[in-house]
Amino acid sequence: MGLEEIEASIRGQGRKQIADLKDKASEEMKQIKRQFDGETDKECKKTSLEFEKKSESLRKGILNEARTRASNLIAVEKSRLVEQVFREAEEKVRKMPEEAKRKMLSKMLEGLDIGEKCTLLVESQCAALIPKSAKFEVKKQELGDFGFVLSSRDGLITVDRRLDSLMQEISEKNRHEVSEILFKER
């Protein structure tokens, strides 16, 4: 075997080793790529699931906030409408004709007995509407409202029957019932 043949044999073996190394490197590269692709897919799926969970949580939070705000707005509007009912009723009383006001005051005075010769305080314009009664000493006084204030001679007992006081009392006692009527909440 001559030098050329040895050289050719070495070159052949070298090419074979290079080809084997290339094949081995190529196979390792494919394996690394498959492993990297698998890990990348896992990370993508994990990130995607985390994103979906956070998105869903955020969506639920936004919807809950919207429901709460809507509920609060509805409650405020309902309350405003109930208040409006009482304001309109009060305004209706204020605009009643004199005769209707006289009857109303008579009805309000019926059954009130807090002692002999009580003092009945009324606005000047309401004094003429009070029925004549021996039970009360009628005094005109600035009350700032339709109605009257009845007090015992010693001042220990006072009954406030001015429209503002009555409407507040009626509103407190009947607010729920008015709301049920307006909004059919039974």
What CATH number is attached to the domain comprising 124? 3.30.2320.30
User: Tens of pLDDT along 21-66?
Assistant: 888 888 888 888 888 777 888 888 888 889 899 999 999 999 999 9
Q: Are residues 87 and 126 in the same domain?
A: no
Where a domain ends, among 43, 77, 95? 95
pLDDT value, residue 81: 93
Where a domain ends, among 53, 71, 95? 95
For 4, the token pair is 């050329």
Q: Are residues 65 and 1 in the same domain?
A: yes
Q: Are 143 and 149 in contact (CB under 8 A)?
A: yes
- Report the number of distinct structural domains present in the chain: 2
Domain limits at 25?
1-95
Q: Are 175 and 75 in contact (CB under 8 A)?
A: no
pLDDT value, residue 74: 92
CA 8, CA 126: separation in Å to the nearest integer? 134
User: Tens of pLDDT along 86-143?
Assistant: 999 999 998 999 899 888 888 888 877 766 778 888 888 888 888 776 577 888 888 8
pTM: 0.61
pLDDT value, residue 127: 81
Where a domain ends, among 95, 115, 134? 95
Question: Residue 185: pLDDT above 80?
Answer: no
pLDDT value, residue 172: 93
Residues contacting residue 146 through CB under 8 Å, at least 6 positions apart: 93, 94, 101, 123, 126, 162, 163
